[in-house]
Amino acid sequence: MEPTRRAVVAGAAALPLARFLRAPRTSAPELPRISLAEWSFHRAIRGGTLDHLDFAKTAKEQYGLEGVEYVNQFFADKATNFGYLGEMKKRAEGVGVKSLLIMCDEEGSLAAPDIKERMTSVEKHCKWIAAGAFLGCHSIRVNAYGSGEPDEQAANMADSLHRLALVADGYGLNVIVENHGGLSSNGAWLAGVMKKADHPRVGTLPDLGNFTDYDRYQGVTEMIPWAKAFSAKSYDFDEQGNETKIDYFRMAKIAVDAKYPGWVGVEYEGEKLSEPDGVKKTIELVKRAFGKALGL
């Protein structure tokens, strides 16, 4: 029997509605994926008790995490060594761990006033983009360091970021800026840099800890629209397992409200606990805080 026009129209109209009604079930809120930032083990790695090459395995076997965030200081002279990078990649993939990003330090000042100095810094960062791409990362993290007036530094940083983004885009990578001291820990300034850099491959890495006299909740709120990674920094914990300086519940709500879609990287930096204990407590706290923010 020929369907009536009305039935066809009704049927078509019902489709999006049915999809809408099903949506809450298929996209039920879930905890964010949790990754491990290598800085959490800076004492062990510097002390020689943990080999950088075994970091991914540690993340998986000791903490059940399936993503890692590398720190370039721990393989500083290996960015151009494909044999070494190949071993890193093989080991991470062998334990089912995804390499997410490389945090890059000590490669010059991307916001320097002198164009030649700035370009040298851009060129020094490029090898980490290639290394990150080879490892399967989504981003490299850079610092917004320089000198001069804030507006001038913002313009220079935006120029460097845009240039890095063009290189990174060729590799399918992002270039993200962390609040990491100086002007970069001023959320409003960094948001201004993001607007000026004006490239979808440019973003932020909000670190919950790295604010000096800037309000950390305001700072993370200002950075979160551009966030492609998220560092759950921790220093110390009270008896309930809450961070003593940072209200994780408030931070989780900021991320959830902004629909931040990425991984949450655990980065314990305290002195009182052992690194493994600090990491475990941070993982537990991230789960509780995001669980509450998501209404789980």
Partner 1 sequence: METSVQISLAAWSLHRRFWARELDPLDLARKAHDAFGLAGVEHASRFFPDRATDFGYLAEMRKRADDAGVKSVLLKVEERGPLAAGDASERFTAIDRHFPWIVAAAFLGCDWVSVGAEGTGVGAPYLDAMADSLQRLATIADSYGIGMLVGNRFGLSCDGSWMKALIAKTAHPRVGVHLNADNFELGGGKVYPRDRGLEEMMPLAKALTARSYAFDARGDEATAGVASVAKLAVAAGFSGWVGVEYDGASLPEEEGVAKTVAMLRRIWPDVTSTSR
Residues forming the site for partner 1 (CB under 8 A): 79-80, 82, 115-116, 119-120, 122-123, 126-127, 130, 133-134, 163, 166-167, 170-172
We find the least distance from the C-beta atom of residue 65 to partner 1, in angstroms, to be 25
266 with 286: CB under 8 angstroms? yes
We find the least distance from the C-beta atom of residue 238 to partner 1, in angstroms, to be 47
Query: For residues 134 and 214, which CB has a smaller minimum distance to partner 1 in the complex?
Result: 134
We find the least distance from the C-beta atom of residue 167 to partner 1, in angstroms, to be 5
Query: For residues 23 and 166, which CB has a smaller minimum distance to partner 1 in the complex?
Result: 166
Q: Which distant-in-sequence residues (6+ apart) come within 8 Å of 45 by Cβ?
A: 38, 51, 52, 55, 74
C-alpha distance from residue 41 to each of 73, 175, 200, 201, 264 (Å): 12, 24, 32, 29, 17
Query: For residues 11 and 170, which CB has a smaller minimum distance to partner 1 in the complex?
Result: 170
We find the least distance from the C-beta atom of residue 120 to partner 1, in angstroms, to be 7
Give the residues across from 50 on adjacent strands: none
Query: For residues 123 and 236, which CB has a smaller minimum distance to partner 1 in the complex?
Result: 123
Q: Which distant-in-sequence residues (6+ apart) come within 8 Å of 107 by Cβ?
A: 72, 121, 124, 125, 128, 142
We find the least distance from the C-beta atom of residue 80 to partner 1, in angstroms, to be 5
Query: For residues 134 and 235, which CB has a smaller minimum distance to partner 1 in the complex?
Result: 134
| Distance separating the N- and C-terminal Cα atoms of the chain | 49
C-alpha distance from residue 21 to each of 25, 27, 164, 259 (Å): 8, 11, 43, 20
CA–CA distance, 126 with 146 (Å, rounded to integer): 18
184 with 143: CB under 8 angstroms? yes
Query: For residues 171 and 249, which CB has a smaller minimum distance to partner 1 in the complex?
Result: 171
DSSP-derived secondary structure letter, 48:
T
We find the least distance from the C-beta atom of residue 69 to partner 1, in angstroms, to be 21
